[in-house]
Structure 1
């Protein structure tokens, strides 16, 4: 339960030492800087624009980089390499070239769309062999239109009767049953033709300006231009791939710019006079002495001093747990960090969380797979506990699931009859797996898990009450701790004493139980006036009883999830076998294997998620409600990150 003690500090230095002080604090990374003076608005638009341009280049090149380059991006680097990249990477040139390529691609995409539309328009007219020049000097006119193919004969007959000097020619067809037609007629017949043809379903079409080129030729020219544009796009892709080798350097430049931003934020947070600058902030109290020595080495003109926090100001929170508990900080973080005045619940929740996680699964095979998957990931990535707390938590959860589930006989939903005899044993309750004690397929096993869930729940809740009282006791609220919190434990002790007391002292145990109830009634009324305390306490005891029932029953979700996991696993096995039996043996066996593997991997994923969520819920609702508020602000030091 370790919250690092924080101290608000002030650093005063001569103006001339400002940049040296900022750089040194950036390197040390032990102080969270807070505003020391009035806020001064500074125009960051130019810097923000440059950062946006850099981000544009990075995001663009990430999509073009090969695996080797992306692998290089993920490797750790040094301060010297970052500074070197910031000095020698020509970011402006890369950004300008990418913008030029983007403009070319945009223009090419627009032209390709225009060509596609053009080709779609003239495709029905590719069979057109001549174009008439429709001008005032000619006596004939050529019109184009679309007309239903099914009633072409009606249009032809009407033209024969009304515009005998016209020629109807079908040029092509469309997929929706329309024909593309060309009509050459005398200009004098145009009005009559329009009236007749329109009434039958004719639609005039204006062909694009082809400058005397036939549609078929124009179509081929458009196709060639499309090919040329696509080749240009391919060339641009290769240019981006060539630029992508600079991606690791661009990422280093981005990190360097983040450092510059951090330093600028500190400059703006500083208080200043004509000759001095002041930095206010929070830091771990135990790091003050070491920082003071380093500041003294930097210059005697720098002073580090303790500062009294403002009224109502909460210190930032930094958790520091032993390695075995550190992975569980990811659970605490999901709820929220503790306030600086609270205790860290991480160590307290850890044994309960991991045990509930295992019991919700109750399948040793699933636990082994979870441990293997996350153990392999951690081995390959070489992530420490601090770097991958959640992965380490799931790795430990897999191991605990494996160990806890063996006594329940959970092995991928298999029954003892389905495995080799060397893995089973005969018992009074029938055939069981070796190491199995309880059978969840029988009522006795279900009853045991049910009672275990309720017992763990009551223990968990009372432990939360104990932590609440302990925290008050440590902080001087001993009376409140005793009456409000510890009287519940006295009652629990008296109940257990009465339940297990020998017959000869049963009456004494009963009087002790009555006495503990009276003490608890008086205790739950703590804070009320003496004449109202019994009534207030009685209401408090009733509320306590209702809460214990509702919270205790909530732990039955452990039983439900444990049974469901086994049921789903067994159903997957049955489905695999039944489907496999539908095929010949040489097909059926691979079908069974595929369904078995795929089904159980999905089941492992879903049940792992469910177990994590419900185990966390029991911490957040039932456990934390006894003693923990949360809502703390994390410690965010001014620190150079690599």
Structure 2
């Protein structure tokens, strides 16, 4: 129930057995290869390109695969199924076909965009009787196209007839606010025409030079648009036909991953003329078993203990009880412990789940969360190791259900809104069955506030204890006693003052002052004796300031607990008030139910997320800050994973 002890080993074997040895190691899945400067440089660019092509095909098909096909494809595969997919799957052909379909879609999209732009441009000019490739300027006249505000069209036409009687102006198309206009103007009159026309709001239009009249071109654009659309539909059908290859492609990607890991191991090998050596880390309990497997291959293979360099750290593998395993996801959000540290997961588990439940403080919300996570786990068939977060939320929902009962949290309802047999009469009014504290009364708020502060101080001092314990087990016993456990002695004497008889209080108070002096002296441990009081006092002051600020941080539990109830109550009130807007009962009831269900669903999602974030924050900042460093590297053995990504 901690970090799995690791042993650095060297696998020594006869060089011709290299591939067989690597196969055994990959099947065993217990050796984390030590990173080293490879003896040979291998160009992986071509391989990486092929892998990227394979992932391109997989991602395309995953995005369009039906849910049942995708679920089956992503399920773990047997080694036999993976190997059987290799000869029957034309990966290159599938990738090339998907690339061709993608290019076809790109071309079709370009045609659609071009056609849409052309349609938008030509629709207002569809009645223009001239071809767009017509020579618009002749020896004597020029054809000008433009747009005029509808209100000014007739005024412009009259002005042109008066000043330029040789020019002709035609109404091509009249819309709500503008008129598409064609004007035939003598070349000598163009400047005068533009002066008169511009005064009346004329804006010149330059249509694209194309072969055909607008109506003809519009028809061609619509035809090409329909063809491009049909092409995209046809391409989508062809992709759906390729979806049947998705399981095989995923199996092949797993196989390629095996080859990649094996090649990495090859490159880490140290080889002489006849001997190969592979350095790595493995769990201590697996060393003998691995040596037996290798010696079945050849008696000339040995697994010997190796001495790591002083700066080298072992990879980290966490191993906890089943009920603790889901909380590893919280630890990993912060970072794995280093090899010489303790695993904080068992220590944070009770605090995390209790803080989560107190932040939620609603039994109804806890029950819904537990039921939803139960359904998700049942549907996905995931174990605790495969989906720790789902199981963590399930446990959090269950604990929230029981913790919410004494606080009377039931979807924001008050005892007066439920049947009488579900409530009872209390000192401060009606309460739910099982309810002890009412968070709508000051007494309930005070209790949750003191509870949050009490838990916070306990949590922080527990972190200090773990810091001292870590030093103690690593031989730094004097530092543990002076720097960490002296604070616990002072706290114990302070608590004792509240329980001893009155005649002993003065004596205990004197002892407490002595404990404070001892604590100040202890905080200066490690400095020169004449500086120790000063450095100890500064460290003591820093500890007290940190203790105060960290303890106050736990009041977020009170804030979130009250907010959850307030939001739930607001949802209920909005649902009821909205229902009152409808006089008919057959409409009012569905409206109230719909608003309540949607509102509480959003509230559960937000408060469940908020509870997770703030409970985690109390672990990461206030708790881990006392004793935990983190930054360990994960244990990633050479193995044959059969799970698809």
Fold similarity call, TM over 0.5: yes
Q: Distance in 2 between matches of 1:97 and 1:532?
A: 77
Give the conservation status (yes or no) of the 8 Å contact 1:3–1:318.
Answer: yes
Deviation at 1:107, TM superposition (A): 2.2
| 2:200 maps to 1:200 | no
Residue 76 of structure 1 corresponds to which residue in structure 2?
Answer: 76
Residue 433 of structure 2 is matched in structure 1 by: 434
> 1:630, CA displacement in angstroms?
1.1
Matches within 5 A, 1:50-61: 50-61=50-61
Shift of 1:72: 2.4
Residue 180 of structure 1 corresponds to which residue in structure 2? 181
Counterpart contact for 2:145–2:205, Cα < 8 Å: yes
Deviation at residue 43 of structure 1 after TM alignment: 1.2
Q: How big is the shift at 1:305?
A: 1.1
Tell me, what secondary structure is at the counterpart of 2:412? coil
* Residues 204 and 521 of structure 1: CA distance in aligned 2, closer, same or farther (over 3 Å): closer
Structure 1 residues 133, 394: closer, same or farther in 2, change over 3 A? closer
CA deviation string 1:37-92 (max 9, x = no partner): 54533211211221122122222223333334223222221111111112220011
Q: 1:504 to 1:6 in 2, by over 3 A?
A: same
The gaps in structure 2 that reach 5 residues or longer are: none
8 Å CA contact 1:35–1:270 kept in 2: the answer is no
Partner SS for 1:500: coil
Q: Distance in 2 between matches of 1:206 and 1:216?
A: 17
CA distance in 1, matches of 2:276, 2:375: 51
* CA deviation string 1:391-413 (max 9, x = no partner): 11111111111111111111111
Residues in 1 aligned to 2:132 and 2:19: alpha-carbon distance in whole angstroms: 81
Q: What secondary structure is seen at the aligned counterpart in 2 of 1:343?
A: coil
Q: Is the partner of 1:301 in helix, strand or coil?
A: coil
1:609 and 1:487 map into 2 onto residues whose CA distance is: 38
* Structure 1 residue 199: Cα displacement: 4.6
Is the 2:261–2:638 Cα contact (8 Å) retained in structure 1? yes
CA distance in 1, matches of 2:48, 2:38: 23
- Alignment match of 1:191 (pick from 188, 191, 194): 188
SS of corresponding position for 1:63: helix
Does the Cα contact within 8 Å between 1:525 and 1:540 map onto a contact in 2? yes
Gaps (5+ residues) in structure 1?
none
CA distance in 2, matches of 1:428, 1:210: 89
Contact 2:137 2:143 in 1 (8 A): no
- Residue 153 (structure 2) aligns with: 152
Give 3-state SS (helix, strand or coil) of 2:347's partner: helix
In 2, are the aligned partners of 1:317 and 1:337 still within 8 Å (CA)? yes
RMSD: 2.4
Which whole-Å CA distance do the structure 2 matches of 1:137 and 1:329 have between them?
81
| Cα separation, 2, equivalents of 1:250 and 1:346 | 38
Contact 2:111 2:224 in 1 (8 A): no
- Displacement after TM superposition at 1:460 (Å): 1.3
The correspondence of residues 132-143 of structure 1 with structure 2, limited to 5 A, is: 143=143
SS of the residue corresponding to residue 81 of structure 2 reads: helix
TM norm structure 1: 0.93
Shift of 1:270: 1.3
Cα deviation, residue 153, structure 1: 3.7
Query: Could you say which residue in structure 2 is the equivalent of 1:98?
Result: 98
Which deviates more, 223-232 or 14-23? 223-232
Question: What residue in structure 2 maps to residue 562 of structure 1?
Answer: 561
| Alignment size in residue pairs | 637
8 Å CA contact 1:36–1:270 kept in 2: the answer is no
Distance 1:121 1:452, change over 3 A: closer
Change (3 A) 1:217 1:380: same
Q: Which consecutive aligned stretches of 4+ in structure 1 deviate over 6 angstroms post-superposition?
A: 132-140
Cα 1:133–1:268, aligned 2, differ >3 Å: closer, same or farther?
A: closer
Q: Is the 8 A contact 2:169 2:181 kept in 1?
A: no
Q: Distance in 2 between matches of 1:362 and 1:136?
A: 80
Alignment of 1:262-301 (within 5 A): 262-301=261-300
Evaluate the alpha carbon distance shift between residue 126 and residue 456 of structure 1 in structure 2; reply closer, same or farther with a 3 A threshold: closer
Distance in 1 of aligned mates of 2:466 and 2:138: 104
Q: Please say if residues 361 and 401 of structure 1, whose CA atoms lie closer than 8 Å, have aligned partners that are also in contact.
A: yes
1:352-363 pair list within 5 angstroms: 352-363=351-362
Deviation track 1:621-640 (CA, whole Å, cap 9, x = no partner) reads 22112211111111111121
